[in-house]
């Protein structure tokens, strides 16, 4: 199949930069453009069909999942299950929905990394309030993280110096909203962390997120800035092992250097383009489009 015959859609957020630049690159090479808002898709499992804007997704050659929601929640898994059904119709999806499902839930991602002996911050997962409080005291400072979140949204810093009553009340309030306690020791970081970029399992470069404010995290959402990074071979190897636990077409691995050595925070379910663009001058939207088109053309 020649690339001019390929029909490749992008599942993302219409109007958002990363979604649109990827759709631009696909259109430039194939002449076909379709951005799918997954919230408006209708799946009829008896027909079977999955439709959006009057067209059936099952008639596509490929789908790239760039974004499934502005924020993470269990709803994301339900949306991915619909795409898993589209995959059953014979449409190749980048990355595989079942692999993304393993990443949007922080618990699943953490357990997979721990099983592979990837260094991470000391982490406690429990439903027991007293045990959670004991570990806040043990850590001194801890970061309470929702199981479904992105860009540090919903995360809270707990400090034992705030007093037992105050910390326990915050934990109780959190549990009433979120359920599980996912606690990580707050580490002393050098004001930056790194995103290591992988396409088709191959390392493409690294960018840094540099804190631009007094925020405890370095996310762009909290004022951080992108810059080029030069990770060591050991850090690149760690990131490679981390992402290899998941069969992803494109991802970034978040790693920070600490006094006790580098630690991995997460493997991204989707992987962004802006960090590579602003920090490295790499057009990963084009490279990703090239990769998908080459994979589909070879398969045919």
Residue 167: how many other CB atoms lie within 10 Å: 19
Phi, psi dihedrals of residue 211, rounded to the nearest 5°: -60, 130
9 and 97 belong to one structural domain: yes
In a domain? residue 299:
no
For residues 257 and 72, the model is more confident at: 257
225 and 171 belong to one structural domain: no
In a domain? residue 162:
yes
In a domain? residue 300:
no
Rounded alpha-carbon distances, angstroms, from residue 87 to 95, 247, 248: 11, 15, 15
80 and 138 belong to one structural domain: no
146 and 175 belong to one structural domain: yes
User: Is beta strand 62-65 parallel, antiparallel or unpaired with respect to 92-94?
Assistant: parallel
In a domain? residue 291:
no
Which helix or strand (DSSP H or E) is residue 239 part of?
A: helix 233-243
What tens digit of pLDDT does each residue of 148-196 get?
Answer: 877 778 899 999 999 999 999 999 999 998 888 999 999 988 888 999 9
In a domain? residue 109:
no
40 CB burial (10 A radius; 0-12, 13-18, 19+): exposed
CATH assignment of the domain containing 231? 3.30.470.20
Q: Of the candidates 163, 148, 238, 246, which has an alpha carbon nearest to the alpha carbon of residue 196?
A: 238
Q: Is the pTM of the predicted complex or chain greater than 0.85?
A: yes
User: Is beta strand 62-65 parallel, antiparallel or unpaired with respect to 8-11?
Assistant: parallel
pLDDT over 70 percentage in the chain: 94
73 and 8 belong to one structural domain: yes
Number of structural domains the chain divides into: 3
pLDDT band at 219 (very low <50, low <70, confident <90, very high): low
160 and 215 belong to one structural domain: no
Are the C-beta atoms of residues 7 and 59 closer than 8 Å to each other?
Answer: yes
CA distance 73 to 276: 26
Tell me how many degrees the CA angle 124-178-164 measures, rounded to the nearest 5: 60
Domain around 148: 123-185
Phi, psi dihedrals of residue 85, rounded to the nearest 5°: -70, -40
CATH assignment of the domain containing 135? 3.30.1490.20
CA distance 276 to 294: 21
Per-residue pLDDT at 100: 95
In a domain? residue 296:
no
180 and 202 belong to one structural domain: no
């Amino acid at each position: 199949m020649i690339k001019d015959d390929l029909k490749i859609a992008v599942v993302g957020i219409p109007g958002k930069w990363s979604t649109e630049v990827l759709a631009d690159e696909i259109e430039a090479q194939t002449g076909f453009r379709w951005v799918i808002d997954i919230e408006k898709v209708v799946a009829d499992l008896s027909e079977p069909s999955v439709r959006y804007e009057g067209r059936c997704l099952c008639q596509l050659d490929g789908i790239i999942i760039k974004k499934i929601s502005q924020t993470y929640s269990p709803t994301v898994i339900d949306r991915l299950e619909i795409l898993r059904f589209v995959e059953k119709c014979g449409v190749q999806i980048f990355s595989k929905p079942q692999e993304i499902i393993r990443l949007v839930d922080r618990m699943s991602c953490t357990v997979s990394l721990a099983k592979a002996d990837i260094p991470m911050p000391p982490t406690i997962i429990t439903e027991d309030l007293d045990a959670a409080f004991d570990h806040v005291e043990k850590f001194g400072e801890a970061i309470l993280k929702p199981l479904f979140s992105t860009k540090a949204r919903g995360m809270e810093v707990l400090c034992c110096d705030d007093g037992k009553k105050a910390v326990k009340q915050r934990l109780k309030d959190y549990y009433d909203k979120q359920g599980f306690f996912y606690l990580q020791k707050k580490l002393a970081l050098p004001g930056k962390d790194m995103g290591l970029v992988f396409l088709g399992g191959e390392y493409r470069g690294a960018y840094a997120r540099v804190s631009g404010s007094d925020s405890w995290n370095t996310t762009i959402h909290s004022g951080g800035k992108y810059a080029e990074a030069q990770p060591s071979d050991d850090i690149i190897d760690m990131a490679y092992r981390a992402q290899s636990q998941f069969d992803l077409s494109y991802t970034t691995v978040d790693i920070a250097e600490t006094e006790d050595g580098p630690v991995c925070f997460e493997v991204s379910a989707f992987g962004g383009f802006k960090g590579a663009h602003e920090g490295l001058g790499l057009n990963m939207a084009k490279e990703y489009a090239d990769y998908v088109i080459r994979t589909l053309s070879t398969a045919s």
